[in-house]
Amino acid sequence: MKLLLVESPTKSRTLKKFLGKDYEIAATIGHIRDLPEKEFGIDVEHNFTPKYVIMPRRREIIAGLKKASTKAKTTVLATDSDREGEAIAWHLAQILDLNGAKPYQRIVFHEITETAIKEALKKPRRIDLNLVGAQQARRILDRIVGYRLSPFLWKKVARGLSAGRVQSVAVRLVVEREREIEKFKAQEYWSILASLQKTVKKSSQRFEAWLVKKIGKVIPKLGIKSKKETDEIVKDLKGAEYKVANIEKKAIKRNPLPPFTTSTLQQESWKRFKFPAKFTMRLAQNLYEKGLTSYHRTDSLNLSELSLFAAKKFIIETYGKNYWAGFLRKYKTKAKGAQEAHEAIRPTYPARTPEAVRVKAELDEKQCRLYDLIWRRFIACQMNQAIFDSTAVEIEAGKYVFKVTGQILQFDGFLKIYPMKFKETELPALEKDEILKLIKLIPSQHFTQPLPRYTEASLIKILEENGIGRPSTYAPIISTIQARNYVEKDEKKRFQPTEIGLTVNDLLVEHFPRIVNIKWTAEMEEDLDKIAQGKRKWVRAVREFYEPFMENLNKKYKEISKTVVQTKEKCDKCGKPMVIRMGKYGKFLACSGFPKCKNTKPLPVKSLGIKCPECKKGDIVEKRTRKGKKFWGCNRWPDCKYATWQEPEK
């Protein structure tokens, strides 16, 4: 009897369908050992040796695994194929004494199918200590920052705060975007649209063309800067003849998008369904463990030959030969440090359509939606291009030129199963030198807009573009910065920094610039990749970070004093002056006699100048919940209990 170990019960149930009575399958329920919660747990003096302890909730599981391993002829470690999975396999080997007399096998696979599992069992290997070292280095680096920098924030800013090596960079991105928005000055610009019609009586179809240039001079987007300039152009155009000067027709081919990686799946899932990254990963994990999709933590666009030929067969048989691309489409990964040995996220069997698996695989509605998205994206990436007939028409009017472009779908190609927003605009049949009738000119005033706040999708995208984090970390990063109350979502579900987020960020930027330096953090990720590849030693990488970090931290303890703002208000319990302090959820009033007097009060709030719509007497003021979430309510509370999450408009 062989014992095969995986992380989750769902995964074990799927594997039991493929493996016979010769295998007993058990689940660890994730990680089994970690650094201790209430102590640093790293022996700095002895090469940063970590002190691992069995997680309290895993003790009973470990006891069962030890018993099963003793009876087993061989223990097979079948945890996930990434660094976290390799680390879990290593911890199991340590706890079950598999490096001693007991034999073990380490197998990896990127999809839970009978073929993949049986092939993996034919090619067992030893635990990859380079991957384990990379995971261990990340964990230790994060522990150093968390356990050494967080107490500094408690002392200098407010108790209960914490700092994270990668999360702090994400907060910085949100803060800097917010300040760009605050500093932004809108620029006025104008556009002129001509509503036109053919003069032939049989045709009454109207269309609109934009003013694009003065003959010999292109008018840029911000070229018409005022109403005065606009009025002068409109005056020049008075009585002008509108003549078709040029017609250009061509076919435009649109290529399908590549299959999903972790990052792009999280982005598209947010755009389409508003699923948070953490929730998307949970759904993707369910699909993987049920054997429906390939491994969901990946930055590779690689696709197996088997999957490509299966997609070809499905497309030709279902939609016809003209819908297949005509060749096996292969995509090149652009992400830094991408693991090409992994595959993109795809369905395990292309023939398992969303409709086919919906009931059979016992998926809930949200799992179905994500599977449908993954399936369609993969099938589409092997389909033919979509072809549009495009017509661009230039119309001369005096010394000005207007332009209009029409676009009609000729062949849907991959759009047949993966719809995308391509606007179709049909133009009337026009001929060169044809004279058109002007219905009216439509001048419009516009103002430039600042870059928007980050959404979950755009924040993940910028993190990936800058080499911050890896597939397994995007969702935890976003969850953590919200849980710490450093950022919050506005009414449009976009990120904005909180008051405490701004304070902590500014302190780190000024005094610990390396920690929140985007380039340096990306270089650290590259170091971790080199450790995983056996090109760098993890102890040296950790030491090179630790020594200058601690030197600077000790220096800042002496240099920086906690800022306390005195107020004229007296404590109503002991009579001492009240001071403004910073807490996890922002500023508040506290007695200067602390810790003898622990009296606190919320800061006085400024009225928005809006009367309460319910009692008509009080004013609407900004408030926060105990967890720091912003809302608005009547200042006559508790006499008036009006409250809303939506920011009131004046």
Provide the β-strand partners of residue 4.
Answer: 25, 76
DSSP secondary structure letter of residue 603? P
* Segment (H or E) for 237: helix 227-237
Three-class SS state of 197: strand
User: CA 444 to CA 208: how far, in whole Å?
Assistant: 14
User: CA 239 to CA 438: how far, in whole Å?
Assistant: 10
Query: Within 10 Å of residue 138's Cβ, how many Cβ atoms?
Result: 26
Q: Strand 2-6 to strand 74-77: parallel, antiparallel, or no bridges (unpaired)?
A: parallel
Q: Exposed, middle or buried by CB within 10 Å (0-12, 13-18, 19+), for 326?
A: exposed
Compute CA distances 38 → 57, 136, 527, whole Å: 16, 19, 28
Active-site residue 319, yes or no?
no
Tell me which of 23, 104, 295, 323 is the catalytic residue: 295
Q: At residue 477, what are phi and psi to the nearest 5 degrees? A: -60, -50
Q: Exposed, middle or buried by CB within 10 Å (0-12, 13-18, 19+), for 2?
A: middle
CB of 644 closer than 8 Å to CB of 637: no
Prior bond to 595 cis, omega within 30? Answer: yes
The number of angstroms, rounded, from the C-alpha of 199 to the middle of its chain's C-alpha atoms is 53
**Token pair for residue 500?**
């405490």
Tell me, what amino acid is at 185?
Answer: K
Q: Where in the sequence numbering do the catalytic residues fall? A: 295
